[in-house]
Chain A
Amino acid sequence: DQQVKQNSPSLSVQEGRISILNCDYTNSMFDYFLWYKKYPAEGPTFLISISSIKDKNEDGRFTVFLNKSAKHLSLHIVPSQPGDSAVYFCAASGSGGSNYKLTFGKGTLLTVNP
């Protein structure tokens, strides 16, 4: 059972435009959400996170939105740059004993075209 879903395997946008990456989750015990960026043959790089008590967190060009009632979060990148081309993973963690464990989605490949 996939608890974190990224339903778009790939996304292509033009340089300078907005990139919107989506993520859905099913486990109500998740209370912390993270986005990672991964280049081929490298480890994932932490981008931005959001606690379930918030609905928005912004860091430079990156903004994460959380809709708890819909169990949905999204990552907005504005403006998109060619160097943003990578695989983006959504991840979630829960409270209590499972709070060390990140559950990852399958990733979305973002391609930003010059």
Chain B
Amino acid sequence: DTEVTQTPKHLVMGMTNKKSLKCEQHMGHRAMYWYKQKAKKPPELMFVYSYEKLSINESVPSRFSPECPNSSLLNLHLHALQPEDSALYLCASSHPVRARGYEQYFGPGTRLTVT
């Protein structure tokens, strides 16, 4: 099973709203990631969690707040977003074991529109 699930599939929110994106994996992976992808561009890394601890924050604005409640779940809390934050938000997970490589398995994404 190489499935990463994300909810919701689509989200429309106003600039004053607070919403959350959710991600779940049951592959036993101990590294989880949030990416942002704009049309016709490659995914851009936002955050990395390793063993439920935040290990990388790619200078993401504080209106994006990640949370890793346990090894299977990853949330992204959104508050006071701007229209330019509209994008496909992707979650991914991987084994943090070097011998198995770092293949990241992606979820289907949440299409976010900020109005």
Contact = CB atoms under 8 A, between A and B. Distances in A.
**Looking at B42, B105, B111, which has the most chain A CB atoms within 10 Å of its CB?**
B42
A101 interface: yes
Interface residues of A, number: 21
Nearest to B33: A100
A17 B64 CA distance: 45
Given A43-B4, A43-B106, A107-B42, A100 B50 contact: yes
B28 interface: no
B88 interface: yes
B14 interface: no
A99 B98 contact: yes
A100 B55 contact: yes
Interface of A: 32, 34, 36, 41-46, 49, 51, 89, 93, 99-102, 104-107
A-B CB proximity, top 3 nearest = A104-B42, A43-B106, A44-B106
